[in-house]
Amino acid sequence: MNKMALLTDKEVGDKYNISFHKLQRMRKQGVGIPYVKLNRRVRYRIKDIERYIEDNTKKMIDKKIFEKFDLLPFSPSRLNAFRDFPCGFVMRYIYGYDFPASPPMIRGSAIEYGFNFYFTDGYSLDQCIQKAFNYYDDGVTFTMDKDKAEKERAFIEPMLNLIYPELSKTNSSYLGFQMKVSTEILGIPFSGYTDYAFENDERITVIDLKTKGKLIKKHSDMLQQTIYKKALEERYDKPVDVKILIVTPKKFEYVLVENTENLMKEIEMSLISCANMIKICKKKESLSSLITPNLDDWYWSDADKRSAREVIWGI
Protein backbone atom coordinates (compact mmCIF):
# COMPACT_ATOMS: atom_id res chain seq x y z
CA MET A 1 0.00 0.00 0.00
CA ASN A 2 1.17 3.54 -0.78
CA LYS A 3 2.87 4.96 2.33
CA MET A 4 1.31 8.35 1.57
CA ALA A 5 -2.22 6.91 1.48
CA LEU A 6 -4.68 8.49 3.92
CA LEU A 7 -6.71 6.37 6.34
CA THR A 8 -9.81 7.12 8.42
CA ASP A 9 -10.03 6.40 12.16
CA LYS A 10 -11.88 3.18 11.40
CA GLU A 11 -9.31 2.05 8.86
CA VAL A 12 -6.50 2.74 11.33
CA GLY A 13 -8.35 0.67 13.92
CA ASP A 14 -8.99 -2.22 11.54
CA LYS A 15 -5.45 -2.33 10.16
CA TYR A 16 -3.35 -1.44 13.21
CA ASN A 17 -5.64 -2.26 16.16
CA ILE A 18 -5.55 1.29 17.55
CA SER A 19 -8.97 2.17 18.92
CA PHE A 20 -11.00 5.23 17.90
CA HIS A 21 -11.05 6.49 21.50
CA LYS A 22 -7.27 6.24 21.79
CA LEU A 23 -6.83 8.20 18.54
CA GLN A 24 -9.32 10.80 19.71
CA ARG A 25 -7.60 11.07 23.10
CA MET A 26 -4.19 11.57 21.50
CA ARG A 27 -5.53 14.32 19.23
CA LYS A 28 -7.03 16.19 22.19
CA GLN A 29 -3.78 15.89 24.13
CA GLY A 30 -1.67 16.95 21.16
CA VAL A 31 0.40 13.76 21.24
CA GLY A 32 0.70 10.56 19.26
CA ILE A 33 0.30 10.07 15.52
CA PRO A 34 0.41 13.18 13.28
CA TYR A 35 -2.79 13.69 11.30
CA VAL A 36 -4.20 15.94 8.61
CA LYS A 37 -7.63 17.52 8.18
CA LEU A 38 -9.36 17.47 4.81
CA ASN A 39 -12.70 19.27 4.71
CA ARG A 40 -12.81 19.01 8.54
CA ARG A 41 -12.27 15.25 8.38
CA VAL A 42 -9.33 13.64 10.16
CA ARG A 43 -7.02 11.42 8.14
CA TYR A 44 -3.76 9.57 8.92
CA ARG A 45 -0.85 8.80 6.61
CA ILE A 46 0.38 5.21 6.71
CA LYS A 47 4.01 6.27 7.02
CA ASP A 48 3.17 8.35 10.12
CA ILE A 49 1.27 5.46 11.71
CA GLU A 50 4.09 3.00 11.12
CA ARG A 51 6.72 5.44 12.39
CA TYR A 52 4.64 5.95 15.56
CA ILE A 53 4.37 2.17 16.09
CA GLU A 54 8.11 1.68 15.53
CA ASP A 55 9.03 4.51 17.92
CA ASN A 56 6.70 3.16 20.62
CA THR A 57 7.50 -0.54 20.33
CA LYS A 58 9.03 -1.54 23.66
CA LYS A 59 11.23 -4.44 24.59
CA MET A 60 9.19 -7.01 26.49
CA ILE A 61 10.28 -8.61 29.76
CA ASP A 62 10.62 -12.39 29.86
CA LYS A 63 7.80 -13.79 32.02
CA LYS A 64 10.06 -16.60 33.20
CA ILE A 65 11.95 -14.09 35.35
CA PHE A 66 8.89 -13.55 37.53
CA GLU A 67 7.61 -17.12 37.23
CA LYS A 68 10.80 -18.28 38.97
CA PHE A 69 9.41 -17.01 42.27
CA ASP A 70 5.72 -17.51 41.40
CA LEU A 71 5.09 -13.75 41.12
CA LEU A 72 2.56 -13.76 38.28
CA PRO A 73 0.19 -12.19 37.74
CA PHE A 74 1.96 -9.14 39.10
CA SER A 75 -0.07 -6.42 40.77
CA PRO A 76 0.15 -2.71 41.59
CA SER A 77 0.60 -3.57 45.28
CA ARG A 78 3.57 -5.83 44.49
CA LEU A 79 5.18 -3.17 42.32
CA ASN A 80 4.67 -0.47 44.95
CA ALA A 81 6.07 -2.75 47.64
CA PHE A 82 9.22 -3.25 45.57
CA ARG A 83 9.54 0.49 44.94
CA ASP A 84 8.72 1.80 48.40
CA PHE A 85 9.91 -0.92 50.79
CA PRO A 86 11.98 -3.70 49.18
CA CYS A 87 12.32 -5.59 52.47
CA GLY A 88 8.54 -5.87 52.68
CA PHE A 89 8.43 -7.08 49.08
CA VAL A 90 10.97 -9.82 49.82
CA MET A 91 9.28 -10.90 53.05
CA ARG A 92 5.77 -11.10 51.65
CA TYR A 93 6.15 -12.06 48.01
CA ILE A 94 9.44 -13.99 47.95
CA TYR A 95 9.40 -15.71 51.35
CA GLY A 96 5.62 -15.88 51.61
CA TYR A 97 5.07 -14.22 54.99
CA ASP A 98 1.42 -13.21 55.32
CA PHE A 99 1.01 -10.69 58.12
CA PRO A 100 -2.46 -9.96 59.55
CA ALA A 101 -4.15 -6.73 58.51
CA SER A 102 -3.73 -3.83 60.91
CA PRO A 103 -6.76 -2.02 62.45
CA PRO A 104 -6.36 0.97 60.05
CA MET A 105 -6.40 -1.41 57.05
CA ILE A 106 -9.46 -3.23 58.38
CA ARG A 107 -11.17 0.12 59.03
CA GLY A 108 -10.60 1.18 55.42
CA SER A 109 -12.00 -2.09 54.08
CA ALA A 110 -14.97 -1.88 56.45
CA ILE A 111 -15.95 1.61 55.21
CA GLU A 112 -15.70 0.52 51.57
CA TYR A 113 -17.72 -2.62 52.30
CA GLY A 114 -20.40 -0.78 54.27
CA PHE A 115 -20.89 2.03 51.78
CA ASN A 116 -21.19 -0.38 48.87
CA PHE A 117 -24.60 -1.41 50.22
CA TYR A 118 -25.89 2.02 49.20
CA PHE A 119 -25.24 1.16 45.55
CA THR A 120 -26.33 -2.48 45.66
CA ASP A 121 -29.29 -2.31 48.05
CA GLY A 122 -30.11 1.38 48.52
CA TYR A 123 -29.11 1.32 52.19
CA SER A 124 -29.47 4.44 54.32
CA LEU A 125 -26.47 6.07 55.98
CA ASP A 126 -27.24 4.40 59.33
CA GLN A 127 -27.54 1.00 57.69
CA CYS A 128 -24.20 1.45 55.88
CA ILE A 129 -22.54 2.45 59.16
CA GLN A 130 -23.87 -0.66 60.88
CA LYS A 131 -22.62 -2.88 58.06
CA ALA A 132 -19.19 -1.26 58.36
CA PHE A 133 -19.15 -1.79 62.14
CA ASN A 134 -20.05 -5.46 61.73
CA TYR A 135 -17.28 -5.98 59.18
CA TYR A 136 -14.75 -4.17 61.36
CA ASP A 137 -15.64 -6.01 64.56
CA ASP A 138 -15.24 -9.36 62.81
CA GLY A 139 -11.89 -8.26 61.37
CA VAL A 140 -10.28 -7.15 64.66
CA THR A 141 -11.45 -10.12 66.73
CA PHE A 142 -7.89 -11.36 67.24
CA THR A 143 -6.13 -7.98 67.34
CA MET A 144 -3.86 -7.72 70.38
CA ASP A 145 -3.86 -3.90 70.59
CA LYS A 146 -7.44 -3.32 71.77
CA ASP A 147 -6.91 0.42 72.37
CA LYS A 148 -5.74 0.88 68.77
CA ALA A 149 -8.70 -1.14 67.53
CA GLU A 150 -11.18 1.04 69.46
CA LYS A 151 -9.54 4.22 68.18
CA GLU A 152 -9.84 3.12 64.55
CA ARG A 153 -13.45 1.97 65.09
CA ALA A 154 -14.37 5.46 66.26
CA PHE A 155 -13.30 6.85 62.83
CA ILE A 156 -15.82 4.77 60.88
CA GLU A 157 -18.97 6.79 61.55
CA PRO A 158 -17.54 10.30 60.91
CA MET A 159 -15.85 9.11 57.71
CA LEU A 160 -19.06 7.58 56.38
CA ASN A 161 -20.95 10.74 57.39
CA LEU A 162 -18.63 12.64 55.03
CA ILE A 163 -18.60 10.34 52.02
CA TYR A 164 -22.23 9.18 51.98
CA PRO A 165 -23.70 12.47 50.66
CA GLU A 166 -20.70 12.97 48.39
CA LEU A 167 -20.68 9.61 46.62
CA SER A 168 -24.44 9.12 46.58
CA LYS A 169 -25.00 12.12 44.29
CA THR A 170 -23.50 10.55 41.15
CA ASN A 171 -25.75 10.37 38.08
CA SER A 172 -23.77 7.68 36.27
CA SER A 173 -24.68 4.00 36.25
CA TYR A 174 -22.98 1.91 38.90
CA LEU A 175 -20.62 -0.66 37.38
CA GLY A 176 -19.38 -2.34 40.51
CA PHE A 177 -17.05 -2.53 43.48
CA GLN A 178 -13.86 -4.58 43.73
CA MET A 179 -14.03 -5.33 40.00
CA LYS A 180 -11.16 -7.51 38.88
CA VAL A 181 -9.21 -5.92 36.04
CA SER A 182 -6.27 -7.21 34.02
CA THR A 183 -3.71 -5.78 31.62
CA GLU A 184 -0.12 -6.29 30.49
CA ILE A 185 2.85 -4.01 30.98
CA LEU A 186 5.97 -4.81 28.95
CA GLY A 187 4.55 -8.29 28.44
CA ILE A 188 4.04 -8.95 32.17
CA PRO A 189 0.44 -9.70 33.19
CA PHE A 190 -1.02 -7.48 35.92
CA SER A 191 -4.27 -7.88 37.81
CA GLY A 192 -6.01 -6.03 40.61
CA TYR A 193 -9.32 -4.80 41.95
CA THR A 194 -10.84 -1.35 41.51
CA ASP A 195 -12.93 0.52 44.05
CA TYR A 196 -16.21 2.12 42.93
CA ALA A 197 -16.69 2.25 39.15
CA PHE A 198 -19.38 4.17 37.23
CA GLU A 199 -20.31 4.44 33.55
CA ASN A 200 -22.19 6.79 31.26
CA ASP A 201 -22.42 6.93 27.48
CA GLU A 202 -19.11 8.72 27.11
CA ARG A 203 -16.74 7.49 29.79
CA ILE A 204 -15.91 5.37 32.83
CA THR A 205 -15.23 7.00 36.19
CA VAL A 206 -13.42 5.23 39.03
CA ILE A 207 -13.36 6.59 42.57
CA ASP A 208 -10.67 5.04 44.71
CA LEU A 209 -11.42 5.57 48.40
CA LYS A 210 -8.48 6.09 50.76
CA THR A 211 -9.28 6.52 54.46
CA LYS A 212 -6.45 8.14 56.40
CA GLY A 213 -5.69 9.95 59.61
CA LYS A 214 -4.40 12.95 57.63
CA LEU A 215 -4.97 14.32 54.12
CA ILE A 216 -1.78 12.92 52.63
CA LYS A 217 -1.39 12.22 48.92
CA LYS A 218 0.70 9.15 48.15
CA HIS A 219 2.51 8.78 44.87
CA SER A 220 2.08 5.01 45.05
CA ASP A 221 -1.71 5.50 44.88
CA MET A 222 -1.28 7.43 41.62
CA LEU A 223 0.78 4.61 40.14
CA GLN A 224 -1.75 2.00 41.19
CA GLN A 225 -4.65 3.87 39.62
CA THR A 226 -2.69 4.50 36.41
CA ILE A 227 -2.49 0.73 35.94
CA TYR A 228 -6.23 0.32 36.63
CA LYS A 229 -7.02 3.14 34.20
CA LYS A 230 -5.07 1.34 31.47
CA ALA A 231 -6.88 -1.94 32.18
CA LEU A 232 -10.35 -0.36 32.11
CA GLU A 233 -9.70 1.60 28.91
CA GLU A 234 -8.69 -1.65 27.24
CA ARG A 235 -11.78 -3.47 28.53
CA TYR A 236 -14.42 -0.85 27.73
CA ASP A 237 -12.74 1.06 24.87
CA LYS A 238 -13.78 4.32 26.52
CA PRO A 239 -11.94 7.17 28.21
CA VAL A 240 -11.49 6.49 31.93
CA ASP A 241 -11.29 9.15 34.63
CA VAL A 242 -9.78 8.11 37.95
CA LYS A 243 -10.22 10.10 41.14
CA ILE A 244 -8.68 9.29 44.51
CA LEU A 245 -10.98 10.31 47.35
CA ILE A 246 -8.90 10.85 50.50
CA VAL A 247 -11.06 10.90 53.62
CA THR A 248 -10.14 11.72 57.22
CA PRO A 249 -12.55 11.87 60.18
CA LYS A 250 -12.95 15.63 59.59
CA LYS A 251 -12.63 16.35 55.86
CA PHE A 252 -12.08 14.91 52.41
CA GLU A 253 -10.31 15.82 49.19
CA TYR A 254 -10.39 14.54 45.61
CA VAL A 255 -7.15 13.98 43.72
CA LEU A 256 -7.46 13.53 39.96
CA VAL A 257 -5.01 11.04 38.46
CA GLU A 258 -3.34 12.98 35.64
CA ASN A 259 -0.14 12.85 33.57
CA THR A 260 -0.61 9.11 33.27
CA GLU A 261 1.80 8.89 30.33
CA ASN A 262 4.70 9.89 32.58
CA LEU A 263 3.38 7.76 35.42
CA MET A 264 3.30 4.74 33.10
CA LYS A 265 6.92 5.37 32.13
CA GLU A 266 7.79 5.36 35.82
CA ILE A 267 5.87 2.10 36.27
CA GLU A 268 7.75 0.51 33.37
CA MET A 269 11.11 1.63 34.75
CA SER A 270 10.27 0.18 38.17
CA LEU A 271 9.14 -3.09 36.60
CA ILE A 272 12.39 -3.34 34.62
CA SER A 273 14.41 -2.68 37.80
CA CYS A 274 12.50 -5.40 39.62
CA ALA A 275 13.01 -7.85 36.76
CA ASN A 276 16.73 -7.08 36.55
CA MET A 277 17.20 -7.73 40.26
CA ILE A 278 15.24 -10.99 40.22
CA LYS A 279 16.95 -12.16 37.02
CA ILE A 280 20.38 -12.46 38.63
CA CYS A 281 19.08 -14.47 41.60
CA LYS A 282 18.62 -18.22 41.41
CA LYS A 283 17.19 -18.61 44.91
CA LYS A 284 15.39 -16.43 47.41
CA GLU A 285 18.43 -16.17 49.69
CA SER A 286 20.31 -14.50 46.86
CA LEU A 287 17.54 -11.96 46.48
CA SER A 288 17.36 -11.09 50.17
CA SER A 289 21.16 -10.62 50.25
CA LEU A 290 20.80 -7.67 47.84
CA ILE A 291 18.67 -5.71 50.35
CA THR A 292 19.65 -4.42 53.79
CA PRO A 293 16.88 -3.68 56.31
CA ASN A 294 16.76 -0.24 57.89
CA LEU A 295 16.24 -1.11 61.54
CA ASP A 296 14.95 2.38 62.37
CA ASP A 297 11.97 2.11 60.03
CA TRP A 298 8.50 2.19 61.66
CA TYR A 299 7.67 -0.99 59.74
CA TRP A 300 9.56 -3.01 62.36
CA SER A 301 7.34 -1.86 65.22
CA ASP A 302 5.30 -5.02 64.56
CA ALA A 303 6.67 -8.02 66.48
CA ASP A 304 5.74 -10.53 63.74
CA LYS A 305 7.68 -8.54 61.15
CA ARG A 306 10.71 -8.27 63.41
CA SER A 307 10.61 -12.02 63.87
CA ALA A 308 10.47 -12.59 60.11
CA ARG A 309 13.34 -10.14 59.61
CA GLU A 310 15.48 -12.11 62.02
CA VAL A 311 14.76 -15.35 60.16
CA ILE A 312 15.63 -13.84 56.76
CA TRP A 313 18.45 -11.42 57.57
CA GLY A 314 19.57 -12.59 61.01
CA ILE A 315 19.18 -9.12 62.57
CB 172 within 8 A of CB 198: yes
- Please give the average per-residue pLDDT across 145-166, as a whole number: 96
Residue 197, exposed/middle/buried by CB under 10 A (0-12, 13-18, 19+)? buried
| Most distant pair of Cα atoms in the chain: their distance | 74
What's the confidence (pLDDT) of residue 1?
A: 57
Q: 94, 197 in Cβ contact below 8 A?
A: no
Residue 195 clears pLDDT 80, i.e. is over it: yes
Given a contact cutoff of 8 angstroms between Cβ atoms, the answer to whether 252 and 166 are in contact is yes
Integer Cα distance of 55 and 85 in angstroms: 33
Let me know: does 243 contact 278? Beta carbons within 8 Å: no
Alpha-carbon dihedral sign for residues 226, 238, 186, 27:
negative
Measured CA to CA in angstroms, residue 7 lies from 10, 34, 137 at distances of 8, 12, 60
Instruction: Tell me which residue of 25, 101, 18 sits closest to 302, measured CA to CA.
Output: 101
Band of residue 170 on the pLDDT scale cut at 50, 70, 90: confident
- Give the pLDDT confidence of 209-259 residue by residue, as tens digits: 999 999 999 999 999 999 999 999 999 988 999 999 999 999 999 999 999
pLDDT for 2 equals 66
**Rounded average pLDDT over 9-23:** 88
Quote the pTM value.
0.83
Average pLDDT (36-65) is 89
From the list 181, 245, 249, 177, the residue with the least C-alpha distance to 208 is 245
Q: What is the mean pLDDT of the chain?
A: 94
Residue 291 above 90 pLDDT? yes
